[in-house]
Structure 1
Amino acid sequence: MENLAPGMKQRFKEQLAELATKYTILESYSEQNLNTMIDILKRLEQGDSENLDIDKALGILELIGKYKVEIIEYYLWWKENIDKKISIEQAERDIEYIDQEGFIMINEHLVYKNDGNKTLKHTLLEAYLDESYDVERLFDKDELVEMWINNSSKEDAIKDFEALAIEEILEGEPKGAYISASNDIIKYYRQE
């Protein structure tokens, strides 16, 4: 440290003091909360206890106890992958909706937790069958002619397609976002 310029020595000492303070604050949390925080980060694949981002850890610890773990996970994942401006309150509302419906669509972003969710399939098909691009993508010409001849309704088409896997309805493959504390596989799909 003797080789450092006086201004740099002072800055280095301040950074060390700040780091020591953060570790001291970290030690003030219960072992259970620390383990919960580490589990959240592992499930989100955002780090391990060896390379812990202290600021992120402290932020998560502040949320533990105030919000359900599923809300914190969603909040951190959304903030990291979609939009940094999400609030924890919005994440809480989103998770409540997902718990009720099994999915949420926000603009072009679809987050869901059950591939067999009929409400999700119905909602997607309802929207897709109003778009000529998606109709052409989902049906070949022979199927369209047969539907026209049989005077099939949109609801008939939706019922036929609800048996398909979600991947067959979407234009691309959904990605696994993370596994929640309740062991739900949370998937994500961005609609173009």
Structure 2
Amino acid sequence: MIVTDRNFSDIIQSFISNEIKAILNKYTNMDLEKIQKVEALISKINDEEFKKELLLDFDKTLKLSTEIGDKYVDYFTIKMYLWIKSNTDLDLNMDAVDRVIQEVEENGYCEINDNTMIYIEGTNLKDIAVEKLETMLEDSYFVDKLLDKDSLIEYFINGTSKDQVIRELVNGIEIEELLDMNIQNIFENNYNQHYMYAQLDC
């Protein structure tokens, strides 16, 4: 007999009982090493909300704990790794994510590839915009996108150099708009810094 706040028929109780037995069998017959790996990972997590998230899916948490192995990996690395796996097509292992976080902490941002970056909100991204614009202004698609006809004519008449055009763009337009950044928030760290994921049209 299964005791709940709702009265189930004998048939439904049989389904419930069979599912409970299947779950018990799964964990009873599971290799002890797997259980210990998951327990070790969960015990390291202090954030209760994140712990609840991991406790929802044993297989996912086992896979995560197996990849971590005996390495020390902090909470934010794990959280970013899971976020990237769930929200992007990037193929980054735990070590790669750890390197990304280190670079972001050192420089304020990290370029994952030509069109993807992770950065701390509020970081000055002018240098990276200048670098991108050097290439973008060689492409007619981006020239048409960034500059109206009047500006192009004015630059031509005045003999404005590409470097001058780039300086005007980065100083006159928000970088997020300039690079047409599609931005998502990953998490906030202990210093109230927001780690952002951005895809760039450049």
Q: TM-score, normalised by structure 2?
A: 0.66
3-state SS of paired residue (2:160): coil
Q: Distance in 1 between matches of 2:125 and 2:169?
A: 13
Shift of 1:23: 7.9
Aligned amino acid, residue 120 of structure 1: I
2:111 is aligned with what amino acid? I
Equivalent of 1:83, from 89, 97, 105?
Answer: 89
Counterpart for residue 110 of structure 1: 117
Of 158, 178, 185, 1:176 maps to 185
User: How many positions carry a matched residue from both structures?
Assistant: 181
Larger RCO (CA within 8 A; separation ≥ 6): 1
1:88 Cα offset (Å): 1.0
1:153 aligns with 2:157: no
DSSP-derived class of the 2:118 partner: strand
Deviations 1:22-74 (A, max 9, x none): 8887666786x2314x46x38xxxx658x633444563698597124443333
The corresponding residue for 2:6 is none
Given candidates 133, 138, 141, the residue that maps to 1:125 is 133
Q: CA deviation at 1:173?
A: 4.2
Give the Å deviation of 1:139: 0.8
Bigger mean CA deviation after superposition, 130-139 or 99-108: 99-108
Q: Conserved in 1, the CA contact under 8 Å of 2:81 and 2:94? A: yes
| Shift of residue 143, structure 1, vs aligned partner | 0.6
Task: Specify the SS of the correspondent of 2:180.
Answer: coil
TM-score by length of 1: 0.69
The CA distance in 1 between the partners of 2:100 and 2:191, in whole Å, is: 16
> Is the 1:177–1:186 contact (alpha carbons within 8 Å) kept by the matching residues of 2?
yes
One-letter amino acid matched to 1:158: I
Q: 1:28 to 1:66 in 2, by over 3 A?
A: closer
> 8 Å contact 1:97–1:104 — kept in the other structure?
no
Query: Which residue number in structure 2 is paired with residue 71 of structure 1?
Result: 77
CA pair 181-132 structure 1, distance change in 2 beyond 3 A: farther
Equivalents in 2 of 1:66, 1:89: separation in Å?
Answer: 11
**Displacement, 1:8?**
7.8
Q: For the structure 1 residues 127 and 105, does the alpha-carbon distance in structure 2 shift closer, same or farther, using more than 3 Å as the test?
A: farther
Distance in 2 (alpha carbons) for counterparts of 1:106 and 1:128: 16
RMSD: 3.8
Secondary structure at the counterpart of residue 162 of structure 1? helix
Residue 35 of structure 1 aligns to a residue in which SS? coil
Instruction: Specify every segment of 5 or more residues in structure 2 that has no aligned partner in the other structure, as ranges.
Output: 2-12
Larger mean CA deviation between 86-95 and 103-112 belongs to 103-112
Provide the secondary structure at the position in 2 that maps to 1:174. strand
Q: CA separation in 2, counterparts of 1:67 and 1:12? A: 30
Q: Give the match's secondary structure for 1:175.
A: strand
Tell me if the contact between 1:74 and 1:91 (Cα under 8 Å) persists in the aligned partners: yes
Alignment of structure 1 residues 3-14 onto 2, 5 Å: 3=14, 11-14=22-25
